[in-house]
Amino acid sequence: MRDFSYRRPDSLDEAQRLAREDGAMLLAGGQTLLRDMKLGLHFPATLVDITGLIPRNIEFRENAISIGAGATHAEVAQSPVLHRHLPVLAALAGHIGDPAVRHRGTLGGAVAANEPAGDYPAACLALDATLHTTKRDIPSVEFFIGDHRTTLEPGEIVTSATFPLVRQASYIKFLNPAARYAMVGVFTAVLSDGSPRVAVTGAHLDGACRWNDAEQALSSSFRPERLSATRLSTAGLAVDFFADPEYRAHLASVLASRAVALADRAGSGVLVLSHGSSMTSA
């Protein structure tokens, strides 16, 4: 790890100014950035620590949930508001990383990092979330634009996210047996207007994305059998020691059907699978 300067601003305005300087990077929970610095993937000249500057409140407003970007994964997982109104999101957060990661990592940091196997980006896309920054409001479908890439501009900071309430929702992920992130994850939802949403994470090299063919297949009826003839294209899918594109495409189809079926059941609607075992969250 190379030498860097550490700055802890007293306000968001100061944080934005510092973040616009050459070589500056924002530090929230640090669970992605500090790891990548140790691996030699990032070499910031300055770390701008925004811990404590970003809201972390979780509130029910106008038929939607507002979550401050400073909220940790653990706070999202334990939120009474989410357990009442959007339990699938609470359960998803409860299965991010391990307890140490969940108590440090933040929602804002996770969406800004946009890791290819991230859980929050898939949730944002499927739940039609809006990301709010220090400059503007960005629909999630416009926010995520590729592997570790978003539409955030230099100095722009995510401050909160709004998740509209939905009729049904579920998330299933199959864990990489070594790193324990999602080898493939599928988030399904039925929005308040009745339109289906399907988002896939872990499969594409560019990160989470909407699965339009699956959404079209579910448009007339949100039933698992509607996906029987739908297959995820292998174009742009990741390949590694554990799975090739064909395997990931097949796994996405299987998980999508199971996720649609799971969305009809009571409880959180989250299922985490691994080789030889499964773990549910209700």
pLDDT (0 to 100) of residue 177: 85
The pLDDT of residue 276 is above 70: no
The type of residue at 101 is: V
pLDDT (0 to 100) of residue 120: 97
Distance of CA 208 to the CA centre of its chain: 8
Which tens digits make up the pLDDT trace of 181-229? 899 999 999 999 999 999 999 999 999 999 999 999 999 999 999 999 9
**What residues are paired with 5 via a beta bridge?**
46
Q: What are phi and psi of 208, to 5 degrees?
A: -60, 145
51 three-state secondary structure: coil
Which tens digits make up the pLDDT trace of 122-156? 999 999 999 999 999 999 999 999 999 999 999 99
Which tens digits make up the pLDDT trace of 9-57? 999 999 999 999 999 888 888 777 777 777 777 788 898 999 999 999 9
Structure-block tokens of residue 156? 């722009």
Which tens digits make up the pLDDT trace of 58-114? 999 999 999 999 999 999 999 999 999 999 999 999 999 889 999 999 999 999 999
pLDDT (0 to 100) of residue 278: 56
Q: Identify whether the C-beta of residue 194 lies closer than 8 Å to the C-beta of residue 151.
A: no
Q: Identify whether the C-beta of residue 140 lies closer than 8 Å to the C-beta of residue 129.
A: yes
Fold of 5-49: 3.30.43
Q: How far apart are CA 133 and CA 39, in angstroms?
A: 29
Q: How far apart are CA 243 and CA 37, in angstroms?
A: 27
Question: pLDDT-based confidence at 1, cuts 50/70/90?
Answer: low
Which tens digits make up the pLDDT trace of 223-269? 999 999 999 999 999 999 999 999 999 999 999 999 999 998 866 78
Handedness of CA 255, 260, 261, 267 (dihedral sign): positive
The arrangement of secondary structure in 58-281, i.e. its CATH architecture, is: 2-Layer Sandwich (3.30)
22: closest CA among 48, 5, 45, 49?
45
Domain ranges of the chain: 5-49, 58-281
Handedness of CA 159, 141, 232, 164 (dihedral sign): positive
| Cβ atoms < 10 Å from Cβ of 278 | 11
What percent of the chain has a predicted confidence (pLDDT) above 90? Answer: 79
211 three-state secondary structure: coil
Print burial letters for 201-229: b (CB count within 10 Å at least 16), e (below 16): bbbbebbbbbbeebbebbeeebebebbee
27: closest CA among 124, 104, 97?
104
**What residues are paired with 210 via a beta bridge?**
199
Structure-block tokens of residue 276? 């030889």
